[in-house]
Amino acid sequence: MLSLHTEPETTPLQERLNNLAEGIVKYGFLAALVLFIVLFIRYCVNIAPGGKFNHFQGAQKGKKFLDIVIVAITIIVVAVPEGLPLAVTLALAFATTRMAQNGAAEIVFKNCGFKTQNKDELTKLDRNDRDEALSKIDEFANDALRAIVLAHKDFNNIGSWPPAELSTEKSTKTDVNDENQTSKQVEADPDLLINLEGSKQELSLDAIVGLQDPLKEGVAEAVLQCKHAGVSVRMVTGDNLITAKAISKSCNILTSDDLSNEYACMEGPKFRKLSELERNRIAPTLRVLARSSPEDKRILVETLRKAGEVVAVTGDGTNDAPALKLADVGFSMGISGTEVAREASDIILMTDDFTDIVQAIKWGRTMGGYI
């Protein structure tokens, strides 16, 4: 949470409002000055011999001059738009009606040295078995399915849980009779069971399943509406590149025109290693960033903003908070979103529906058109 406490930046709407307010004040002063000069010249003509104010007493002539000053000051006062921020705030109020391991399937599979053949029979995984399993994972990915590897490890002849190789100590503080006491508990750390390099291969493969996360109704049409409105939609996901491509095609993010661009789809680690100059060149045409980390998402937002783009970000997890905070507009999910994501965002989508973003753009542009 401490990383989210950054100095608030001026949004594009606030910049436009500030420019508008400054313009109104400048032109207001100019109009008041011109009007004062014109009225003062007329006043001098009227008090001259033969003028209609020539016979007035000194107090009456002074009152006429004071009226001119009051008119000029009134224009200056009216020109200061004190009610403008309030009006925009009301308009905005009216218009606003699981963290996963990247490549988890492949990583878990690397740690498998056996497979469950029948109910209680385990056999060694050979090269053909591995090739077939990896082919099945790719097949699921091409069908826009998220591959999940189910595996287990047997722990025999252990006197207590957790086993020593999985044990980790966790300190907890409790208040007893108004005194803080620290106790240590031994828990199992699942991260110790998985080796990222796959060098142990102590797990037994049970099954590989493909889960479909269907698009919500109207998402594909909403993406097309965004594109027609000049809004570029990008997918930043932890899925592998094949799955990300399949999903992005189904929701109109990745089109046939993008396929000819070798930088339209990229993986997070590769994007992260690019130089700042290369990222500035690639980011405008990037459509899909797969196997991405929260840092990749933040770097992409930062790169686009430095290029002068107005960036909006959607997210629901705690790891999305840095990008949500950095974006010009952060959209968090009101139902599935975490508290950290909601705190970091500017707008909360109460229905978790992407189509609501289209409505937000409509309201924003309608209001912006009047400024």
CATH number at residue 299: 3.40.50.1000
| Shared-domain flag, residues 313 and 233 | yes
pLDDT value, residue 12: 66
Determine, yes or no, domain membership for 363.
Answer: yes
pLDDT value, residue 100: 32
**Owning domain of residue 267:** 219-369
Report whether pLDDT(182) > 70: no
| Residue 360 pLDDT level (bands cut at 50, 70, 90) | confident
- Distance from the first to the final alpha carbon of the chain: 35
pLDDT value, residue 73: 83
| Final residue belonging to a domain, choices 159, 180, 212 | 212
> What is the average pLDDT across 70-81?
73
Q: Residue 218: which region, alpha, beta or left (left: phi > 0; alpha: psi -120 to 50)?
A: left
| Shared-domain flag, residues 204 and 228 | no
Q: Are 184 and 170 in contact (CB under 8 A)?
A: yes
Burial class, 134, CB count within 10 angstroms (exposed 0-12 / middle 13-18 / buried 19+): middle
| Shared-domain flag, residues 249 and 356 | yes
pLDDT value, residue 97: 36
Residue 162 to residue 168: CA distance in whole angstroms: 9
Determine, yes or no, domain membership for 99.
Answer: no
pLDDT value, residue 120: 67
CA angle in degrees (0–180, nearest 5) for 327-328-332? 60
> What is the average pLDDT across 324-343?
86
> What is the average pLDDT across 82-100?
46
Instruction: Return the percentage of the chain with pLDDT > 70, whole number.
Output: 81
| Residue 304 pLDDT level (bands cut at 50, 70, 90) | very high
pLDDT value, residue 288: 92
> What is the average pLDDT across 12-34?
76
| Residue 286 pLDDT level (bands cut at 50, 70, 90) | very high
Higher pLDDT, 184 or 145: 145
Phi, psi angle pair for 89, to nearest 5°:
-60, -45
Mean pLDDT rounded to a whole number for the chain: 78
Summarize pLDDT for 192-239 with one digit per residue, the tens.
777 766 667 778 888 888 887 777 788 888 888 888 888 899 999 888
Q: How many CB atoms lie within 10 A of CB 157?
A: 4
| Shared-domain flag, residues 329 and 245 | yes
| Shared-domain flag, residues 353 and 230 | yes
Determine, yes or no, domain membership for 53.
Answer: yes
Residue 89 to residue 17: CA distance in whole angstroms: 11
| Residue 338 pLDDT level (bands cut at 50, 70, 90) | confident
Look at the chain and report how many structural domains it folds into: 3
Determine, yes or no, domain membership for 91.
Answer: no
Least confident of 184-198, 200-214, 247-261: 184-198
Per-residue DSSP letter, 68: H
| Shared-domain flag, residues 62 and 77 | yes
Least confident of 87-96, 207-216, 269-278: 87-96
Report whether pLDDT(7) > 70: no
| Final residue belonging to a domain, choices 190, 212, 234 | 212
| Shared-domain flag, residues 129 and 78 | no
